[in-house]
Amino acid sequence: MVSITETLREKKVLVADGGWGTLLIAAGMQAGECPELWNVDHPDVVRRIAEDYINAGSDIISTNSFGGTRCKLDAFGLGDRAAELNEAAARLSREAAGPDMHVLASIGPSGKFLITGEISEDALYEAFKEQAQALERGGADACIVETFSAIDEACTAIRAVKENTALEIICSFTYASTAGGTPRTMMGVTPAEMAAACLEAGADGLGANCSFGSEDMVAVVRALREAAPEAPILVNPNAGQPVQSENGIVYPETPEFMAGFVPRLIEAGANIVGGCCGTTPEHICAIRAEVNKHLH
Ligand SMILES: [Zn+2]
């Protein structure tokens, strides 16, 4: 199939999907459960989440594999099932997507830091390689190395995907603050530093996800676009900063509010717009409608 980069040359702006954790919790997932285990224990629920996003207007669907490295699954005693759980994740999204739509498989951080020596670069590389190969076997055509904050870990993941699969790679960081006007990750990395390192390691596209609501993401996208004039740029904001209410964590931004920032995100340089934590098919539906206006 054609790559996301090639699709973007024709379509200019694509719509990604929204949060998965939010919907798994709504479907009954309890705190402390392993989300990736739902790929084999509750496949119908996971496939329906993908279908709901596709019906809402996503051009690109992700997978339920954010915590799917062996390192993360070990915390649930499931490390040895990493290949099975990731392959199932990609297969479910591919079943929902059909043969022609992009399945952008999710690869999240390992939860371990190279800088502290708690994991070796070789072990980290092998964990990402195992996950990426399983996602490709399951039917993904691309992957998003997402919610990273450290350059060394992200570049290890990018190399592991690049050297062992044919998956196209978008690398997306999460930013912790914009103190002093420059967005930085919790490891102190700026969008310009991230862009240079990830492209050098072999990423095909760049992105920013989680972090903030839509408004604060405009500056992050602009900084990425300045650093990488040609690269596809994805932005998946949260539905605002989470607030604690009597009913648990609530994300305050409505679909209409988020969609209102789509023109500014596109103007800043975004080519792929979706959502992260707290966003739902309703948010994607509103973003889709706004992107459609822009395409005409
Ligand atoms: Zn998020």
Q: Note the pLDDT tens digit of each residue in 5-16.
A: 999 998 889 999
For residue 41, pLDDT over 70 is answered with: yes
Cα 242 to Cα 251: distance, rounded to the nearest angstrom? 5
Tell me the average pLDDT across 50-58: 98
The pocket of ion ligand 1, defined by CB under 5 A, consists of 210, 276-277
Delineate the domains of the chain, giving CATH numbers in brackets.
4-295 (3.20.20.330)
Query: How far apart are the CA of 296 and the centre of ligand 1, in A?
Result: 30
SS3 244: strand
For residue 296, pLDDT over 70 is answered with: no
Q: What pLDDT shows up at residue 57?
A: 98
Q: Quick one: what percent of the chain has pLDDT higher than 70?
A: 100
What six digits make up the tokens of 80? 């040895």
Q: Note the pLDDT tens digit of each residue in 104-154.
A: 999 999 999 999 999 999 999 999 999 999 999 999 999 999 999 999 999
For 69-101, give the DSSP string.
SHHHHGGGT-GGGHHHHHHHHHHHHHHHH-SSS
Query: How far apart are the CA of 168 and the centre of ligand 1, in A?
Result: 22
Q: Note the pLDDT tens digit of each residue in 254-292.
A: 999 999 999 999 999 999 999 999 999 999 999 999 999
Query: How far apart are the CA of 157 and the centre of ligand 1, in A?
Result: 19
Q: Quick one: what percent of the chain has pLDDT higher than 90?
A: 90
Q: Note the pLDDT tens digit of each residue in 212-233.
A: 899 999 999 999 999 999 999 9
Q: What pLDDT shows up at residue 248?
A: 81
Query: How far apart are the CA of 38 and the centre of ligand 1, in A?
Result: 19
Query: How far apart are the CA of 45 and the centre of ligand 1, in A?
Result: 20
Which of 122, 15, 27, 29 has the alpha carbon at shortest distance from 67? Answer: 29
Mean confidence (pLDDT) of the chain: 96
Query: How far apart are the CA of 62 and the centre of ligand 1, in A?
Result: 13
Confidence of residue 82 (pLDDT cuts 50, 70, 90): very high
Confidence of residue 68 (pLDDT cuts 50, 70, 90): very high
SS3 162: helix
DSSP secondary structure code for residue 28 in this structure: T
- Please answer whether residues 17 and 53 qualify as being in contact, where contact means their C-beta atoms are separated by less than 8 angstroms: yes
Query: How far apart are the CA of 211 and the centre of ligand 1, in A?
Result: 7
Query: How far apart are the CA of 249 and the centre of ligand 1, in A?
Result: 13
159: exposed, middle or buried (C-beta count within 10 Å: 0-12, 13-18, 19+)? middle
For residue 18, pLDDT over 90 is answered with: yes
Greater confidence (213 vs 57) lies with: 57
Query: How far apart are the CA of 42 and the centre of ligand 1, in A?
Result: 22
For 179-234, give the DSSP string.
GGGS-B-TT---HHHHHHHHHHHT-SEEEEEESS-HHHHHHHHHHHHHH-TTS-EE
Cα 38 to Cα 67: distance, rounded to the nearest angstrom? 12
Q: What pLDDT shows up at residue 85?
A: 98
Which of 115, 120, 220 has the alpha carbon at shortest distance from 173? Answer: 220
Greater confidence (245 vs 89) lies with: 89
* Contacting residues for 117 by C-beta, under 8 A, at least 6 apart: none
SS3 143: strand
Query: How far apart are the CA of 186 and the centre of ligand 1, in A?
Result: 15
H or E, element range at 171: strand 168-173
Q: Vertex 128, ends 275 and 284: CA angle to 5°?
A: 10
Query: How far apart are the CA of 207 and the centre of ligand 1, in A?
Result: 13
Query: How far apart are the CA of 210 and the centre of ligand 1, in A?
Result: 4
Does the pTM surpass 0.85? The reply is yes
- Cross-strand pairs, 208: 173, 235
Q: Note the pLDDT tens digit of each residue in 159-205.
A: 999 999 999 999 999 999 877 788 999 999 999 999 999 999 999 99
Residue carrying structure tokens 């992260």: 276
For residue 247, pLDDT over 90 is answered with: no
What angle in degrees, to the nearest 10, is found between the helix axes of 121-138 and 82-97?
A: 40
Radius of gyration, CA atoms only, the chain? 17
Query: How far apart are the CA of 66 and the centre of ligand 1, in A?
Result: 10
Cα 20 to Cα 69: distance, rounded to the nearest angstrom? 17
